[in-house]
Structure 1
Amino acid sequence: MKLFYFFALLAVLATTALAWEKEDHEIFDLVSDVEASEGKGTTFYSWLDVPSTATTSEIAKAYRKLSMQLHPDKNPNVKGVQERFARLGVVSAILRNKESRKRYDFFYKNGVPKWRGTGYYYSRFRPGVGFVMTFLIFVTSAVQYVIQKMNYKKDLERIEKITAAARTAAWGTKLVPGAGQRKVRINLGSSRDDDGYSETKWLDMVVEGQDVFILEPNGDMHLIDSSTAVQPTIGNTWFCVLVKSLFRKALGSKSKDTLENVDGTIEDSDDASSTTGSEATGTGTDSSKAARVPTVKAGGKRRKAVKRR
């Protein structure tokens, strides 16, 4: 369940990244530049010293007031004043435009994404659908592979525990193997069913030297050792399994179509030979008699011939 939520979160982040447009990227960069020059936490509204509910005229008035203070002609020796003045004009234009202000207000209320770093990924790299899908496949397959390794380690520990218990039951605590085979029963522990009743599970095993076998009810024996556990492989991850399954289905469908074509050819030949045989049989006889077939009921009895008037 935790893995499901993890993958769902990745999908949501990928969808959100794809939903950002060029205008959003420009707002992200502008927010970073404003905080870098005017102080961390500075917003477009706080820089203009107006509330977020300010009208367009109030924003225009605040812009004129601040632009006079930051005008390069009044601050000839101030470093970076031209960039600040130009940036102020862009901020004012965004807030005075209904659509762009709506975009900014969304991030103003919900916050600008923090994981973008320096802004390089927004301005120069926008992930497409192919990249996002490849990324998700890689991440989910890697997580599944790690889980396979964890399960493999647990299986090895369980096998070692079971085989050690079988050898102890067969040869004693000194573990000195005797001649021939010895049948033992190993307690696998208790489990509770839906009604709450506890049931002890036993496993019949055969020990022969250092080899331990699982004994089936029909008398078959299966060696149990480290090779019994399923080793983790990339081929067992969900994407590789899906690709192999689709490939097999494609080959199966192709083979089925080939067999159907062969069967159709045979059936056509049978029909042709059947027709030829009927025609040959009917040669020299009355065609109406040759074509007459007795009518049979569902029960298999022949119906009496009834003359039509």
Structure 2
Amino acid sequence: MARQPELDDFRVPYFEDGKESSQFSLDGFDPSSKPFSTGSKDSDRARLVEIGEKLDTMQECLHAQQKQRMLLVLQGMDTSGKDGTIRAVFHEVDPLGLRIVPFKAPTPMELAHDFLWRVHSQAPAAGELTIFNRSHYEDLLVPKVLGTLTPENFEVRCHHIREFEALLADSGTTIIKCMLHISKDEQRKRLQARIDDPSKHWKFDVSDLEARKQWDDYQAVYRDALAATSTEYAPWYVIPADSKTHRNVMVAELLLRAFEAMKLEYPPPKESLSGIKVE
């Protein structure tokens, strides 16, 4: 009998003792697989609603407690579904204490500082669940592919990212990083759908086609970046993303597991409110 897949089967090996895993490769993950599907799109959606209700309660506890923090990092090629994941997974979650931060190309002001300057100020505060829609990893991926970041500086930035995320973890932040792994063929279909539907033209940029021409380069840099920055305190997970419903369920399952590990509880009752009657 085949072993049932586990979430950690999709975790990138930890960077340890100054070395990344030589065994890690994105080729080992099938973007079209559905290892955590419950059988159909409808059942997957039902499972997502079930998890969403639990996440809503846990998010409320997190916000009420005002002690711990959570950071979800979403990365992936264009059309991999970062926006869609956020809409689907957090549909049932109370927005109180939930913050979404989209990262775009750095502004001149941001470029005048170190590459983590714009990111640190957006890290979650106590009681917050913050989602990075793209992230500080853009400052590894894009310049490396474009050739403006040398291999030496790439390694230096990876080091700084590990140290930065260690600081967040030491400050009470639970970090989950998801690489939404889409196939090149599925991306072609989704880009074409945006072109063919006038109502989706706003989502399409000609630069998406230029990035697509560098698909293999981006896959190679993703592999290097994930291998060099997946740690015990800030692990990376490769999420098969050709199926939107499965992608959403898998990210939700990861969040649920992380929340349960935090052992959140509501603050103790206030004795000062005992006996008070509202008239």
Same fold (TM over 0.5): no
More helix as a share of residues: 1
Structure with higher Rg: it is: 1
User: Greater relative contact order (Cα 8 A, min sep 6): structure 1 or 2?
Assistant: 2
TM-score (norm 2): 0.19
